[in-house]
């Protein structure tokens, strides 16, 4: 059965473009349109779609308030279309916090100048959200559903005592998941943290500022030459790659331009791989919700050096792709629900 999609946008031209791309995939079926947020609320109730694509800026009611109302009344997976500006970033994060699960730039040229690639990305995102549905953790308490893998307590404490860096990689669903993890960590957290979130270049500065305003840790976007320090979390800059290099006893960030073959910018694999070289066996890598397998190859390199790897469980993941790749490859030392990951990281104090 095809994933049923409601397309919401005040622009008839944009509605038509989205519909043409989605209709090219037999797995997807556009079942209706809405021209503003209020219309979207009504159509969501009437048509009961599997996924909603939603513009942010619309008359009558904007996309953010529409998402809040839909999630309160008839919860559905929502993919937002956003402008890649500072204001667009702010609005997108508000929409994600309101309940939207994913976002794409409204200017399709920002995805690719190849029309077929744009259609592929859009179809893949919509289909994945439709098949997955809303994470069960939004409805059922995680402790009732999760079956975490545990290390024996003595072994766990012995291995965790050697951690020098915590590195967290994520994609779809990550902006909200990272906030839940970081909320459990105090300002005096003794281990440097690296955050790798698939995100456009124009979004990461705003995202880092937003996180820094909300949580006790010092959180900022990484710049070339940054020293990894306790109490600080560095977010990989969008559109580039964040590596870690050892310089004597210190670890420093090296921000590099992406190579043509690197599909993710930033890439979890790139950061994890650099950590495997810079401080083998002294890393705790955490892979959260996300589409694809980014992080798996880097986690394998880390494991070969004796590092620890945690993965988010299926129940609490928005998209169980990246953490599933870790689990299926046999690389996960622990598989945990999102609600426990920050708490467990706090045990490293």
The domain spans of the chain are 3-134, 142-346
Coil vs helix vs strand at 38? helix
Domains 3-134 and 142-346 share a fold: yes
Apex CA 234: angle with CA 276 and CA 100, to 5°?
105
> What pLDDT was estimated at residue 79?
98
Mean pLDDT by 10 residues, the chain (349 residues): 96 97 96 98 98 96 98 97 89 96 91 91 96 70 38 48 93 97 96 97 95 97 98 97 95 93 92 97 97 97 97 97 98 97 91
For this structure, is 313 an active site residue?
no
> What pLDDT was estimated at residue 158?
46
CATH for the stretch 142-346: 3.40.50.180
Q: Is residue 103 exposed (0-12), middle (13-18) or buried (19+ Cβ within 10 Å)? A: buried
pTM over 0.75: yes
CATH architecture of 3-134: 3-Layer(aba) Sandwich (3.40)
Of 82, 128, 137, 171, the active-site residue reads 171
Of 294, 297, 313, 333, the active-site residue reads 294
Alpha-carbon span 112 to 158, nearest angstrom: 47
What are the distances in angstroms from CA 176 to CA 98, 231, 274, 294?
Answer: 10, 21, 26, 19
Alpha-carbon span 168 to 162, nearest angstrom: 17
For this structure, is 171 an active site residue?
yes
Check if the beta carbon of residue 84 is closer than 8 Å to that of residue 107. Answer: yes
Alpha-carbon span 316 to 324, nearest angstrom: 12
Of 36, 137, 198, 274, the active-site residue reads 198
For this structure, is 107 an active site residue?
no
Alpha-carbon span 189 to 235, nearest angstrom: 16
């Amino acid at each position: 059965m095809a994933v049923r999609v409601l397309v919401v946008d005040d622009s008839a031209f944009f509605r038509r473009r989205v519909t043409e791309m989605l209709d090219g995939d037999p797995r997807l079926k556009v079942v209706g349109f809405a021209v503003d947020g209020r219309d979207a609320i009504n159509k969501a109730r009437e048509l009961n779609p599997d996924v909603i694509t939603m513009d942010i800026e619309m008359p009558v009611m904007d996309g953010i308030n529409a998402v809040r109302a839909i999630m309160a009344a008839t919860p559905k997976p929502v993919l937002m279309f956003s402008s890649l500006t500072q204001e667009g970033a702010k609005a997108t994060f508000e929409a994600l916090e309101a309940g939207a699960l994913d976002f794409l730039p409204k200017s399709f040229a920002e995805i690719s100048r190849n029309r077929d690639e744009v259609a592929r990305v859009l179809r893949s995102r919509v289909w994945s959200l439709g098949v997955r549905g809303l994470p069960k953790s939004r409805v059922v308490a995680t402790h009732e559903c999760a079956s975490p893998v545990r290390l024996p307590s003595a072994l766990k404490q012995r291995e965790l005592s050697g951690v020098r860096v915590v590195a967290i990689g994520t994609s779809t669903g990550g902006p909200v998941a990272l906030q839940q993890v970081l909320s459990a960590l105090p300002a005096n957290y003794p281990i440097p943290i690296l955050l790798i979130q698939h995100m456009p270049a124009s979004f990461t500065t705003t995202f880092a500022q937003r996180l820094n305003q909300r949580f006790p840790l010092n959180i900022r976007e990484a710049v070339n030459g940054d020293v990894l320090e306790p109490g600080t979390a560095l977010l990989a800059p969008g559109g580039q790659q964040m590596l870690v290099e050892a310089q004597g006893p210190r670890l420093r960030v090296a921000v590099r331009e992406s190579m043509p073959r690197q599909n993710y910018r930033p890439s979890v694999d790139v950061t994890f791989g650099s950590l495997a070289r810079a401080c083998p066996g002294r890393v705790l890598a955490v892979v959260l919700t996300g589409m694809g397998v980014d992080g798996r190859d880097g986690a394998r390199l880390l494991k070969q050096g004796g590092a620890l790897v945690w993965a988010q469980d299926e129940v609490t993941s928005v998209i169980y792709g990246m953490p599933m790749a870790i689990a299926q490859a046999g690389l996960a030392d622990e598989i945990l629900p999102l609600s426990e990951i920050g708490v467990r990281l706090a045990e490293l104090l």
